[in-house]
Structure 1
């Protein structure tokens, strides 16, 4: 997925942080934490997921849609993949 090693490492770090946030939500629910605290944890995790999605969508658009030298077929495939991801996210 990631087109450079540096990007891959950054994405993996983000995913690990998100995993930690999900674990914090789980602990909050298990410990009957205050509703407001739990809501904040969920909102922060959702924001982190949205940021990850934005980054991957942007990378896909640049690499598989806008990259010079792509054939029309490759560009059409990349566009359809991008649109399908957006459709799924909207559900």
Structure 2
């Protein structure tokens, strides 16, 4: 999750842009657009979502590992959570 007001605003702006792309994709499908432009729009949406995911994941990892864990168990739990996030991102 973005922690600073500027990062939060930036993330929300990206989400709104993605929503706009999805709205355009919906209109194209409703209007029976050709496959090539629809596929191009889908690729753009995928890229936008991946970019947003990457930024928020980076923010989370920086926040998670900026403060040292007080116990080895907490450190291991933080690593496990980070690995799970990266794995879900790569699916």
TM-score of the superposed pair, with normalisation by structure 1: 0.85
For residue 70 of structure 2, what is the aligned residue in structure 1?
71
- Alpha-carbon distance in structure 2 between the residues aligned to 1:42 and 1:28: 11
| Unmatched segments (≥5 aa) in structure 2 | none
Contact 2:22/2:45, CA 8 A, preserved across alignment: yes
State the Cα deviation string for residues 55-87 of structure 1 (Å, max 9, x = none). 01111111002x0444341x4333222222222
Contact 1:64/1:79, CA 8 A, preserved across alignment: no
Note closer, same or farther for the CA distance 1:77–1:9 as it changes in structure 2 (3 Å cut): farther
Moved more, 79-88 or 48-57: 79-88
Contact 2:25/2:42, CA 8 A, preserved across alignment: yes
Contact 1:18/1:48, CA 8 A, preserved across alignment: yes
For residue 21 of structure 1, what is the aligned residue in structure 2?
21
* Number of corresponding residues: 89
Contact 2:18/2:48, CA 8 A, preserved across alignment: yes
- Alpha-carbon distance in structure 1 between the residues aligned to 2:21 and 2:64: 31
Contact 1:61/1:78, CA 8 A, preserved across alignment: no
- Alpha-carbon distance in structure 2 between the residues aligned to 1:42 and 1:52: 15
| SS of match in other structure, 1:3 | coil
